[in-house]
A and B are shown apart, each in its own frame.
Chain A
Amino acid sequence: MCRVVDLQQAVLVKNDERAGSLRAELTARGTTVVNLLSSPGSGKTALLEAELALAASRGVPVAALTADLATEHDAERLARAGVPVKQVLTDGLCHLEAGMLGEQLEGWLPAGTRLLFVENVGNLVCPASYDLGESLRVVLASVTEGEDKPLKYPTAFGLAQLVIVTKDDIAEAAGFDEEAFRANVHQVNPGVDVVLTSARRGTGTGLLLERALAVAGGEEAHRPVMARTGSGSGGGSSYGHTHTHTHAHPHAHADAGAHAHPHTTITTASAAGVPARSHS
């Protein structure tokens, strides 16, 4: 006996559904998620350190979750900003998934968190396919990585809602061709903003916070061509950005006390094939 069954199922539908419900749940709680993607060593942590410190100084309740294969170095660095930080160890897994993020947030994410920055695993390939329930996806590239990075990793750059160039202080020494980089970004993602930063010099600090707060306040983030999939494409994983961000949350920020005590939490993510292990 043999039987053929026709189906129409997007493979990542479960992740997309979890991401969608996480986005809705967090939005209802007044939290907006920012997903940061880049290669290892691009400067996600340095940029985030500066943005978190700035947010703390302005009294904006923010939190950060950082994912790595091993070590808690990044969480230690980020926690110096004095905001809640959690380290997730993926035990070798190359990306975060929405379900993993949801589990990590349970019982940890302080009430009243306005912005949650998620520092994804340093990798420009795998994390690009997974919607984490973010409302702003940011892709970073340092000036030493070459102008053609956007073409080499078109899914990551093609789905970015903001592109941040880091280490601009050494752009000249690295021979970084800004015009060529911008042209390459434009090819795979026309209309996305490209901003230059240097965490060392402090140039561009605050741009990310400003953009994230604008999105949290209801401003619609850029919609990349790659995420605009017509009905016929059947992609199903356009990371759920077809909804409009019309939510404007009134925030009293009366919960500042919850953010006055920085703490670092370390957990190992549990996913298919990844054993759950507590590091705390």
Chain B
Amino acid sequence: MHEMSIAVAMVEQVTETPAADGCQAVSAVRLRLGELAGVVAGSLRFCFSLACAGTVLEGAELLIEHVPGRARCEPCGAEWATGMPPQLCCPQCEGGKAELVSGRELQITGLRHADGADGGGAAHHASVQVKES
């Protein structure tokens, strides 16, 4: 249940970001979440709603973009989807010198500010390519 610590860290970061200046309420937070990040989306959502209570993020939506794990083997050039549990040994040359191309993301990529209810938020919502879990 480190999702609560992660949710608290997210709220701290958002409230401290200079981008929050002049806009009180944050109505949505966009998060890139890697398949290998070790974070459960459902649990994070639950914790996020609790962590937001009493802050400028109260009631904010958490938009999670899932990022699949991918690895690349530098020596042989192979690139593959790691899957879960991940295959981090090169399936082509069986070498152990690969590096992760993606999959460990745990990154806030955007905020939506809105004072009061408005329709603009929904318009933006659609422009963000978010795959809900």
A interface residues with partner B (beta carbon < 8 Å): 1-15, 93-95, 97, 125-126, 128-130, 150-152, 154-155, 158, 186-191, 224-226, 228-230, 232-238, 271-273
Given contacts A129-B38, A225-B88, contact A11 B104 (CB under 8 A): no
How far, in whole Å, are A188 and B103 apart by their CA atoms in the complex? 13
Q: Are B34 and A235 in contact (CB under 8 A)?
A: yes
- Residue of A whose beta carbon sits closest to that of B4: A273
Give 1 or 0 for each of B1-21: 1 = CB within 8 Å of chain A CB.
110111011101100010100
Given contacts A229-B100, A230-B101, contact A129 B107 (CB under 8 A): no
List 9 A–B pairs whose Cβ atoms lie within 8 Å, in order of A's numbering: A3-B23, A8-B107, A12-B106, A129-B106, A225-B71, A229-B104, A230-B72, A233-B34, A233-B103
Which secondary structure dominates chain B's binding surface? mixed
How far, in whole Å, are A228 and B88 apart by their CA atoms in the complex? 11
- Residue of B whose beta carbon sits closest to that of A186: B89
Q: State whether the Cβ of B81 lies closer than 8 Å to any Cβ in chain A.
A: no
- Residue of A whose beta carbon sits closest to that of B17: A7
- Residue of A whose beta carbon sits closest to that of B127: A4
Give 1 or 0 for each of B65-92: 1 = CB within 8 Å of chain A CB.
0000001100000000000111111000
Q: Which residues of the other chain, A, contact B95 by a CB distance below 8 angstroms?
A: 190
Q: Are A125 and B99 in contact (CB under 8 A)?
A: no
Given contacts A226-B88, A232-B101, contact A7 B110 (CB under 8 A): yes
How far, in whole Å, are A235 and B36 apart by their CA atoms in the complex? 10
Q: Are B96 and A190 in contact (CB under 8 A)?
A: yes
How far, in whole Å, are A258 and B111 apart by their CA atoms in the complex? 51
Q: State whether the Cβ of B112 lies closer than 8 Å to any Cβ in chain A.
A: yes
Q: Which residues of the other chain, B, contact A187 by a CB distance below 8 angstroms?
A: 85-89
Q: Which residues of the other chain, A, contact B102 by a CB distance below 8 angstroms?
A: 232-234
Considering residues A12, A94, A224, A238, which has the most beta carbons from chain B within 10 angstroms of its beta carbon?
A12
The smallest C-beta distance from B102 to any residue of chain A, in angstroms, reads 5
A-B Cβ contacts below 8 A, count: 167
The smallest C-beta distance from B91 to any residue of chain A, in angstroms, reads 10
Q: Which residues of the other chain, B, contact A158 by a CB distance below 8 angstroms?
A: 36, 86, 88
How far, in whole Å, are A162 and B109 apart by their CA atoms in the complex? 34
Q: Are A95 and B2 in contact (CB under 8 A)?
A: yes
Given contacts A232-B102, A233-B102, contact A125 B38 (CB under 8 A): yes
How far, in whole Å, are A7 and B100 apart by their CA atoms in the complex? 22
Q: Are A237 and B104 in contact (CB under 8 A)?
A: yes
Q: Are A11 and B106 in contact (CB under 8 A)?
A: yes
Given contacts A4-B124, A230-B100, contact A129 B39 (CB under 8 A): yes
Q: Are B86 and A188 in contact (CB under 8 A)?
A: yes
Q: Which residues of the other chain, B, contact A232 by a CB distance below 8 angstroms?
A: 101-102
- Of the candidates A3, A15, A126, A190, the one whose C-beta lies within 8 Å of that of B89 is A190
- Of the candidates A1, A10, A11, A237, the one whose C-beta lies within 8 Å of that of B114 is A1
How far, in whole Å, are A129 and B34 apart by their CA atoms in the complex? 13
Q: Are A3 and B112 in contact (CB under 8 A)?
A: yes
Given contacts A1-B115, A11-B9, A11-B31, contact A6 B1 (CB under 8 A): no
Q: Are A5 and B113 in contact (CB under 8 A)?
A: yes
The smallest C-beta distance from A99 to any residue of chain B, in angstroms, reads 11
Q: Which residues of the other chain, A, contact B36 by a CB distance below 8 angstroms?
A: 154-155, 158, 226
Q: Which residues of the other chain, A, contact B12 by a CB distance below 8 angstroms?
A: 14
- Of the candidates B97, B104, B110, B121, the one whose C-beta lies within 8 Å of that of A6 is B110
- Residue of A whose beta carbon sits closest to that of B33: A11
Q: Which residues of the other chain, B, contact A93 by a CB distance below 8 angstroms?
A: 5
Q: Which residues of the other chain, A, contact B37 by a CB distance below 8 angstroms?
A: 129, 155, 235
The smallest C-beta distance from A253 to any residue of chain B, in angstroms, reads 37
How far, in whole Å, are A6 and B120 apart by their CA atoms in the complex? 16
Q: State whether the Cβ of B32 lies closer than 8 Å to any Cβ in chain A.
A: yes
